[in-house]
Amino acid sequence: MQGNQKWRELLGKIIKDPHEKQRIANALGVSIITLSRWVSGESTPRTHNLRLLLKALPDHRKAFLDILPHDELSQAVDEKIEDEDTAQEIPSVFYARVLNAHCNLPRILHFSSICDVILQQALKQLDPNREGMEITVVQCMYPSPNGKIHSLRESLGRGTPPWNRELEQRTLFLGAESLSGYVVSSGRPLAIPSRMEGLNLFPVQWVEWEESAMAYPIMMADQIAGCLLVSSTQPGYFLSLARQKLVQQYAELLLVAFEPDNFYDLRSIDLGRMPPYEKQRSHLGSFRQRVADTMIRHRVDVVQAERMIWQQLEDELLQLQMLQDTK
Protein backbone atom coordinates (compact mmCIF):
# COMPACT_ATOMS: atom_id res chain seq x y z
CA MET A 1 0.00 0.00 0.00
CA GLN A 2 2.87 2.34 0.79
CA GLY A 3 4.41 1.76 -2.65
CA ASN A 4 1.01 2.25 -4.23
CA GLN A 5 0.70 5.66 -2.58
CA LYS A 6 4.23 6.68 -3.56
CA TRP A 7 3.73 6.20 -7.29
CA ARG A 8 0.50 8.19 -7.08
CA GLU A 9 2.38 10.99 -5.30
CA LEU A 10 5.06 10.97 -7.98
CA LEU A 11 2.45 11.17 -10.73
CA GLY A 12 0.75 13.99 -8.84
CA LYS A 13 3.97 16.02 -8.82
CA ILE A 14 4.50 15.44 -12.53
CA ILE A 15 1.02 16.58 -13.58
CA LYS A 16 1.11 19.79 -11.54
CA ASP A 17 2.27 21.34 -14.79
CA PRO A 18 -1.02 21.72 -16.74
CA HIS A 19 0.74 21.40 -20.11
CA GLU A 20 2.45 18.19 -19.02
CA LYS A 21 -0.84 16.90 -17.61
CA GLN A 22 -2.59 17.45 -20.93
CA ARG A 23 0.30 15.91 -22.88
CA ILE A 24 0.20 12.74 -20.76
CA ALA A 25 -3.59 12.51 -21.04
CA ASN A 26 -3.33 12.78 -24.83
CA ALA A 27 -0.60 10.13 -24.97
CA LEU A 28 -2.70 7.71 -22.92
CA GLY A 29 -6.02 8.53 -24.58
CA VAL A 30 -7.66 9.42 -21.24
CA SER A 31 -9.05 12.61 -19.74
CA ILE A 32 -7.16 14.85 -17.33
CA ILE A 33 -9.87 14.02 -14.78
CA THR A 34 -8.87 10.36 -15.02
CA LEU A 35 -5.26 11.27 -14.24
CA SER A 36 -6.41 13.20 -11.18
CA ARG A 37 -8.47 10.21 -10.00
CA TRP A 38 -5.41 7.97 -10.29
CA VAL A 39 -3.44 10.39 -8.14
CA SER A 40 -6.17 10.64 -5.50
CA GLY A 41 -6.65 6.87 -5.38
CA GLU A 42 -10.27 7.02 -6.55
CA SER A 43 -9.40 4.67 -9.41
CA THR A 44 -6.54 2.47 -10.56
CA PRO A 45 -5.27 2.37 -14.14
CA ARG A 46 -5.40 -0.86 -16.08
CA THR A 47 -2.17 -2.64 -17.00
CA HIS A 48 -2.36 -1.32 -20.56
CA ASN A 49 -2.64 2.27 -19.32
CA LEU A 50 0.23 1.76 -16.90
CA ARG A 51 2.44 0.67 -19.78
CA LEU A 52 1.42 3.70 -21.82
CA LEU A 53 2.09 5.91 -18.81
CA LEU A 54 5.70 4.76 -18.64
CA LYS A 55 6.11 5.25 -22.36
CA ALA A 56 4.90 8.82 -21.96
CA LEU A 57 7.30 9.39 -19.03
CA PRO A 58 10.64 7.84 -20.05
CA ASP A 59 12.58 10.16 -17.72
CA HIS A 60 10.63 8.85 -14.72
CA ARG A 61 10.63 5.14 -15.64
CA LYS A 62 13.39 4.21 -13.16
CA ALA A 63 11.74 6.20 -10.37
CA PHE A 64 8.48 4.29 -10.82
CA LEU A 65 10.33 0.98 -10.82
CA ASP A 66 12.23 1.90 -7.64
CA ILE A 67 9.01 2.84 -5.89
CA LEU A 68 7.08 -0.27 -6.87
CA PRO A 69 9.45 -3.21 -7.37
CA HIS A 70 6.70 -5.77 -6.66
CA ASP A 71 3.50 -3.91 -7.41
CA GLU A 72 1.32 -4.44 -10.47
CA LEU A 73 2.90 -1.37 -12.07
CA SER A 74 6.31 -3.00 -11.82
CA GLN A 75 4.79 -6.24 -13.08
CA ALA A 76 3.39 -4.45 -16.10
CA VAL A 77 6.79 -2.96 -16.85
CA ASP A 78 8.55 -6.28 -16.33
CA GLU A 79 6.13 -7.94 -18.75
CA LYS A 80 6.81 -5.20 -21.27
CA ILE A 81 10.56 -5.55 -20.88
CA GLU A 82 10.24 -9.31 -21.29
CA ASP A 83 8.13 -8.81 -24.42
CA GLU A 84 10.78 -6.50 -25.85
CA ASP A 85 13.63 -8.84 -24.94
CA THR A 86 11.96 -11.80 -26.65
CA ALA A 87 11.26 -9.64 -29.72
CA GLN A 88 14.81 -8.43 -30.24
CA GLU A 89 15.51 -10.79 -33.12
CA ILE A 90 13.75 -11.56 -36.37
CA PRO A 91 12.67 -15.25 -36.26
CA SER A 92 15.05 -17.49 -38.21
CA VAL A 93 12.13 -19.13 -40.00
CA PHE A 94 11.23 -15.73 -41.44
CA TYR A 95 14.72 -15.28 -42.88
CA ALA A 96 14.23 -18.61 -44.63
CA ARG A 97 10.88 -17.43 -46.02
CA VAL A 98 12.39 -14.23 -47.44
CA LEU A 99 15.33 -16.12 -48.94
CA ASN A 100 12.93 -18.53 -50.63
CA ALA A 101 10.95 -15.62 -52.11
CA HIS A 102 14.20 -13.98 -53.25
CA CYS A 103 15.22 -17.11 -55.13
CA ASN A 104 11.87 -17.99 -56.70
CA LEU A 105 9.85 -14.85 -57.43
CA PRO A 106 9.80 -13.54 -61.02
CA ARG A 107 11.70 -10.29 -61.38
CA ILE A 108 8.59 -8.21 -62.07
CA LEU A 109 7.18 -9.18 -58.64
CA HIS A 110 10.48 -9.37 -56.77
CA PHE A 111 10.65 -5.91 -55.19
CA SER A 112 6.99 -5.36 -54.26
CA SER A 113 6.38 -8.90 -52.99
CA ILE A 114 9.48 -9.13 -50.82
CA CYS A 115 8.91 -5.66 -49.38
CA ASP A 116 5.29 -6.53 -48.62
CA VAL A 117 6.26 -9.71 -46.75
CA ILE A 118 8.97 -7.92 -44.76
CA LEU A 119 6.82 -4.91 -43.88
CA GLN A 120 3.95 -7.07 -42.64
CA GLN A 121 6.27 -9.06 -40.39
CA ALA A 122 8.00 -5.91 -39.13
CA LEU A 123 4.65 -4.36 -38.28
CA LYS A 124 3.57 -7.40 -36.28
CA GLN A 125 6.82 -7.45 -34.32
CA LEU A 126 7.29 -3.72 -33.78
CA ASP A 127 3.63 -2.96 -33.01
CA PRO A 128 2.22 -6.19 -31.51
CA ASN A 129 -0.48 -4.33 -29.57
CA ARG A 130 -1.55 -2.29 -32.60
CA GLU A 131 -1.01 1.02 -30.84
CA GLY A 132 -0.55 2.80 -34.17
CA MET A 133 2.43 2.49 -36.52
CA GLU A 134 3.35 3.14 -40.14
CA ILE A 135 6.32 1.46 -41.84
CA THR A 136 7.51 2.72 -45.22
CA VAL A 137 10.21 1.81 -47.71
CA VAL A 138 11.75 5.03 -49.04
CA GLN A 139 13.79 4.79 -52.25
CA CYS A 140 16.33 7.07 -53.86
CA MET A 141 14.95 8.62 -57.03
CA TYR A 142 16.74 8.08 -60.34
CA PRO A 143 19.93 10.14 -60.83
CA SER A 144 19.67 13.46 -62.64
CA PRO A 145 21.80 14.08 -65.77
CA ASN A 146 24.63 15.30 -63.51
CA GLY A 147 24.61 11.94 -61.69
CA LYS A 148 23.20 13.37 -58.44
CA ILE A 149 20.20 12.12 -56.47
CA HIS A 150 17.94 15.09 -55.77
CA SER A 151 15.00 13.44 -53.98
CA LEU A 152 13.54 10.31 -52.40
CA ARG A 153 10.20 8.63 -52.97
CA GLU A 154 7.99 6.58 -50.68
CA SER A 155 7.41 3.41 -52.63
CA LEU A 156 5.67 0.88 -50.36
CA GLY A 157 4.12 1.05 -46.92
CA ARG A 158 2.02 -0.69 -44.30
CA GLY A 159 0.27 0.62 -41.21
CA THR A 160 -1.96 -0.11 -38.25
CA PRO A 161 -4.83 2.20 -37.24
CA PRO A 162 -5.09 5.13 -37.36
CA TRP A 163 -2.99 4.83 -40.53
CA ASN A 164 -4.05 1.39 -41.77
CA ARG A 165 -2.21 2.05 -45.02
CA GLU A 166 -1.96 -0.58 -47.73
CA LEU A 167 0.77 -0.98 -50.31
CA GLU A 168 1.08 1.94 -52.74
CA GLN A 169 -1.93 3.75 -51.31
CA ARG A 170 0.05 6.97 -51.03
CA THR A 171 3.02 8.25 -52.99
CA LEU A 172 5.13 11.03 -51.56
CA PHE A 173 8.38 12.71 -52.59
CA LEU A 174 10.81 13.54 -49.79
CA GLY A 175 13.90 15.72 -49.69
CA ALA A 176 16.30 17.49 -47.39
CA GLU A 177 13.37 18.70 -45.26
CA SER A 178 12.56 15.17 -44.05
CA LEU A 179 13.87 12.61 -41.56
CA SER A 180 14.42 10.20 -44.46
CA GLY A 181 16.42 12.85 -46.29
CA TYR A 182 18.64 13.42 -43.27
CA VAL A 183 19.30 9.70 -42.84
CA VAL A 184 19.96 8.99 -46.52
CA SER A 185 22.25 12.02 -46.88
CA SER A 186 24.29 11.10 -43.82
CA GLY A 187 24.13 7.30 -44.16
CA ARG A 188 23.40 7.11 -40.43
CA PRO A 189 20.22 6.03 -38.58
CA LEU A 190 18.26 8.46 -36.46
CA ALA A 191 15.49 7.99 -33.88
CA ILE A 192 13.46 11.02 -32.81
CA PRO A 193 11.68 10.54 -29.46
CA SER A 194 9.02 13.21 -29.85
CA ARG A 195 7.58 15.96 -32.01
CA MET A 196 9.15 18.63 -29.83
CA GLU A 197 12.67 17.30 -30.29
CA GLY A 198 12.08 16.82 -34.00
CA LEU A 199 10.89 20.37 -34.48
CA ASN A 200 13.77 21.85 -32.51
CA LEU A 201 16.73 19.75 -33.64
CA PHE A 202 16.10 17.98 -36.93
CA PRO A 203 14.69 18.74 -40.40
CA VAL A 204 11.46 16.79 -39.93
CA GLN A 205 7.94 17.39 -41.21
CA TRP A 206 5.49 15.57 -38.94
CA VAL A 207 2.29 14.10 -40.32
CA GLU A 208 -1.02 13.61 -38.55
CA TRP A 209 -0.92 11.13 -35.61
CA GLU A 210 2.89 10.84 -35.74
CA GLU A 211 4.49 11.35 -32.31
CA SER A 212 7.87 9.60 -32.70
CA ALA A 213 9.84 8.22 -35.62
CA MET A 214 12.97 6.37 -36.68
CA ALA A 215 14.70 5.89 -40.03
CA TYR A 216 17.48 3.45 -40.86
CA PRO A 217 19.51 3.57 -44.10
CA ILE A 218 19.31 0.68 -46.56
CA MET A 219 23.00 0.41 -47.43
CA MET A 220 25.55 -1.98 -48.86
CA ALA A 221 29.05 -0.78 -47.91
CA ASP A 222 29.12 2.89 -49.05
CA GLN A 223 26.24 2.44 -51.51
CA ILE A 224 22.73 3.50 -50.49
CA ALA A 225 19.29 2.64 -51.92
CA GLY A 226 17.07 4.54 -49.48
CA CYS A 227 15.85 3.93 -45.94
CA LEU A 228 13.26 2.20 -43.80
CA LEU A 229 11.02 4.80 -42.14
CA VAL A 230 8.96 3.85 -39.05
CA SER A 231 6.48 6.21 -37.36
CA SER A 232 4.50 5.67 -34.14
CA THR A 233 1.53 7.33 -32.48
CA GLN A 234 3.34 6.85 -29.15
CA PRO A 235 5.92 9.39 -27.92
CA GLY A 236 9.23 7.84 -26.89
CA TYR A 237 8.49 4.59 -28.75
CA PHE A 238 11.98 4.33 -30.23
CA LEU A 239 13.86 5.02 -27.02
CA SER A 240 13.89 1.23 -26.61
CA LEU A 241 17.19 -0.22 -27.81
CA ALA A 242 15.37 -3.47 -28.62
CA ARG A 243 13.08 -1.66 -31.06
CA GLN A 244 15.99 0.25 -32.59
CA LYS A 245 17.79 -3.04 -33.16
CA LEU A 246 14.72 -4.53 -34.83
CA VAL A 247 14.38 -1.56 -37.19
CA GLN A 248 18.04 -2.05 -38.10
CA GLN A 249 17.53 -5.76 -38.78
CA TYR A 250 14.53 -5.18 -41.00
CA ALA A 251 16.33 -2.43 -42.93
CA GLU A 252 19.23 -4.84 -43.50
CA LEU A 253 16.86 -7.63 -44.57
CA LEU A 254 15.29 -5.30 -47.16
CA LEU A 255 18.60 -5.34 -49.03
CA VAL A 256 17.51 -8.51 -50.82
CA ALA A 257 14.52 -6.69 -52.36
CA PHE A 258 16.70 -4.21 -54.26
CA GLU A 259 18.53 -4.68 -57.54
CA PRO A 260 22.26 -3.77 -57.71
CA ASP A 261 21.51 -0.71 -59.86
CA ASN A 262 19.19 0.67 -57.14
CA PHE A 263 22.23 1.52 -55.01
CA TYR A 264 24.13 4.79 -55.37
CA ASP A 265 27.37 6.19 -54.04
CA LEU A 266 26.70 8.11 -50.84
CA ARG A 267 28.62 11.06 -52.32
CA SER A 268 26.02 11.34 -55.09
CA ILE A 269 23.23 12.23 -52.66
CA ASP A 270 22.42 15.93 -53.11
CA LEU A 271 18.83 16.36 -51.99
CA GLY A 272 16.72 19.39 -52.69
CA ARG A 273 13.63 20.40 -50.72
CA MET A 274 10.19 19.04 -51.49
CA PRO A 275 6.82 20.72 -50.81
CA PRO A 276 4.41 19.29 -48.20
CA TYR A 277 2.17 16.40 -49.22
CA GLU A 278 -0.89 18.64 -49.55
CA LYS A 279 0.86 20.62 -52.30
CA GLN A 280 2.18 17.48 -54.00
CA ARG A 281 -1.26 15.88 -54.23
CA SER A 282 -2.50 17.77 -57.30
CA HIS A 283 0.63 16.82 -59.26
CA LEU A 284 0.66 13.17 -58.17
CA GLY A 285 -3.03 12.63 -58.91
CA SER A 286 -2.40 12.70 -62.66
CA PHE A 287 0.36 10.07 -62.55
CA ARG A 288 -1.52 7.14 -64.12
CA GLN A 289 -3.00 9.23 -66.93
CA ARG A 290 0.38 10.74 -67.72
CA VAL A 291 1.95 7.27 -67.83
CA ALA A 292 -0.72 6.06 -70.27
CA ASP A 293 -0.28 9.12 -72.49
CA THR A 294 3.51 8.68 -72.48
CA MET A 295 3.26 5.02 -73.50
CA ILE A 296 1.17 5.99 -76.53
CA ARG A 297 3.15 9.09 -77.50
CA HIS A 298 6.65 7.63 -77.12
CA ARG A 299 5.80 3.96 -77.78
CA VAL A 300 7.50 2.72 -74.63
CA ASP A 301 6.49 0.06 -72.12
CA VAL A 302 4.95 0.83 -68.72
CA VAL A 303 8.26 0.61 -66.82
CA GLN A 304 9.94 3.14 -69.11
CA ALA A 305 6.89 5.42 -69.07
CA GLU A 306 6.67 5.37 -65.27
CA ARG A 307 10.33 6.28 -64.95
CA MET A 308 9.88 9.22 -67.33
CA ILE A 309 6.85 10.53 -65.41
CA TRP A 310 8.48 10.09 -61.99
CA GLN A 311 11.40 12.18 -63.21
CA GLN A 312 9.07 14.83 -64.62
CA LEU A 313 7.14 14.99 -61.33
CA GLU A 314 10.35 15.25 -59.33
CA ASP A 315 11.50 18.20 -61.40
CA GLU A 316 8.11 19.93 -61.15
CA LEU A 317 8.00 19.57 -57.36
CA LEU A 318 11.59 20.68 -56.84
CA GLN A 319 10.88 23.78 -58.93
CA LEU A 320 7.66 24.41 -57.01
CA GLN A 321 9.48 24.40 -53.68
CA MET A 322 12.33 26.56 -55.02
CA LEU A 323 9.80 29.17 -56.05
CA GLN A 324 8.19 28.98 -52.63
CA ASP A 325 11.55 29.34 -50.85
CA THR A 326 12.41 32.48 -52.83
CA LYS A 327 9.20 34.28 -51.86
Q: Are 132 and 232 in contact (CB under 8 A)?
A: yes
Angle at 139 between CA 133 and CA 140, to 5 degrees: 145
> Which residues have C-beta within 8 Å of that of residue 311, sequence separation ≥ 6?
141, 142
Long-range contacts, 192-198 (Cβ 8 Å, 24+): 192/238, 193/58, 193/235, 193/236, 193/238, 193/239, 194/235, 194/236, 195/235
- 43-82 pLDDT, tens per residue? 888 777 777 888 788 888 778 777 764 445 445 544 444 4
Contacts of 216 (CB under 8 A, 6+ apart): 183, 189, 227, 228, 247, 248, 250, 251
Predicted TM-score (pTM) of the model is 0.74
Beta bridge partners of 216: 228
Smallest CA-to-CA distance from 18 within 31, 32, 8, 29 is with: 32
Distances from the Cα of 152 to the Cα of 27, 140, 171, 239, 265, angstroms: 31, 5, 11, 26, 15
**Which residue in 4, 12, 6, 1 sits closest to 37, CA to CA?**
12
Question: How far is Cα 241 from Cα 308, in angstroms, rounded to an integer?
Answer: 41
- pLDDT tens digits in sequence order for the chain, 327 residues long: 444 678 888 889 999 998 888 888 887 777 888 899 888 888 888 777 777 888 788 888 778 777 764 445 445 544 444 444 445 689 889 999 999 999 999 988 999 999 999 999 999 999 988 889 999 999 999 999 999 999 999 989 999 888 876 655 568 999 999 999 999 999 999 999 887 765 666 667 777 888 899 999 999 999 999 999 999 998 888 888 889 999 999 999 999 999 999 999 999 999 999 999 889 988 888 899 999 999 999 999 999 999 999 999 999 999 999 998 887
CB 91, CB 118: distance < 8 Å: no
The answer to whether residues 183 and 215 touch, using CB atoms and an 8 Å cutoff, is yes
Helix (H) or strand (E) holding 251: helix 241-253
Phi, psi of 213 (to 5 degrees): -155, 160
The greatest distance separating any two alpha carbons of the chain, rounded to the nearest whole angstrom, comes to 79
Helix (H, G, I), strand (E, B) or coil at 2: helix
Contact 137, 115 (CB under 8 A): yes
Task: Please name the residues in contact with 65: beta carbons below 8 A apart, sequence gap of 6 or more.
Answer: 74, 77
